[in-house]
Copies of this chain bind each other. A is one copy, B any other.
């Protein structure tokens, strides 16, 4: 998406104070996969909308995403992202809080530029505001789970739905909104996005243990090292016998074990319980649900094909 890269380059030019806008320029021009702008475009294409009008919501949702990254990195004390220092590490916490706040507002102001009727604009704004609020709820649930020893699989899915899936769904719906999609189509494309988003996160959880390390491009086992309660861990707890359960809980209740020893021990239990196969089966279910949503759309077959292709590519991705 060449367009958006150029768009972001000029967005913060000559704005002051520099300490507020430099971090924003920095994070917006780091690249990343740009999945959210792609999804706005995809939603627009599927419903035959004006792709040139999609640039504003595409930029706005990508800005919203980057605002959440700036603040999440403070909360998670993450020092690196996309191979570069995070904003709060490169500058400081105060600047990261404030430039995140500013970026969230810029996203809203960007969305207001979308060349659509005021009625559609109001719906876009409500979508962005509601999406952003749900992402906050999802991040809070994620923080809560760190100290909660009784997280269920359903609660976990509810958390990633809010933390990850609503944003992908919101992007698709934004594209559909600017293309005057019907209420039923809006609902189906949104649910397609939710199922896609959950798939996306479950794949991420899988990669931490089962990726091809060379293709993945980073070290495996980060979630296990930081005792993160991923889908794999919660599923394993559910399927484990008493001994395996005790062992898992022991590994996940301390941080000062040998990393390789811990990773191998946990992976051994996961393997014994067929966690890879079970998770892949669950991913298939979410892909099926996504496909069902696509089938319910009243659009041309080739447009449906685009959405199904996108979902399958996501299911097959290896990094």
Asked if A143 meets B108 with Cβ closer than 8 Å, knowing A101-B136, A119-B118, A122-B122, the reply is: no
Question: Which B residues touch A97, using CB under 8 A?
Answer: 71, 74-75, 97
A20 at interface (Cβ–Cβ under 8 A)? yes
Question: Which B residues touch A121, using CB under 8 A?
Answer: 118, 122
A119 to B132, CA, bound (A): 23
Would you call B112 and A118 a contact (CB within 8 A)? no
A94 at interface (Cβ–Cβ under 8 A)? yes
> Which of B16, B109, B119 is in CB contact (< 8 Å) with A129?
B109
A106 to B143, CA, bound (A): 20
Known pairs A109-B133, A112-B126; list 9 more (Cβ under 8 Å). Answer: A19-B143, A20-B136, A75-B98, A93-B93, A99-B136, A109-B129, A109-B130, A112-B125, A118-B119
Question: Which B residues touch A95, using CB under 8 A?
Answer: 140, 143
A141 to B139, CA, bound (A): 29
A136 to B101, CA, bound (A): 7
CB distance from A210 to the nearest CB of B (A): 30
Report A209-241 residues with CB < 8 Å from chain B CB: none
Would you call B101 and A71 a contact (CB within 8 A)? yes
CB distance from A14 to the nearest CB of B (A): 13
Taking residues whose C-beta sits less than 8 angstroms from the other chain, chain A's interface range is 35 or more
Asked if A17 meets B101 with Cβ closer than 8 Å, knowing A118-B118, A129-B109, the reply is: no
CB distance from A201 to the nearest CB of B (A): 18
CB distance from A97 to the nearest CB of B (A): 6
Would you call B125 and A98 a contact (CB within 8 A)? no
CB distance from A24 to the nearest CB of B (A): 10
Would you call A102 and B133 a contact (CB within 8 A)? yes
A104 at interface (Cβ–Cβ under 8 A)? yes
A105 at interface (Cβ–Cβ under 8 A)? yes
A139 to B71, CA, bound (A): 17
Would you call B140 and A98 a contact (CB within 8 A)? yes
Would you call B140 and A19 a contact (CB within 8 A)? yes
CB distance from A104 to the nearest CB of B (A): 7
A137 at interface (Cβ–Cβ under 8 A)? yes
Question: Which B residues touch A139, using CB under 8 A?
Answer: 98
**Cross-chain pairs A/B with CB under 8 angstroms, 16 sampled:** A20-B137, A71-B97, A71-B101, A75-B97, A94-B143, A97-B97, A98-B140, A101-B104, A102-B136, A105-B129, A108-B129, A109-B133, A112-B125, A112-B126, A118-B119, A125-B125
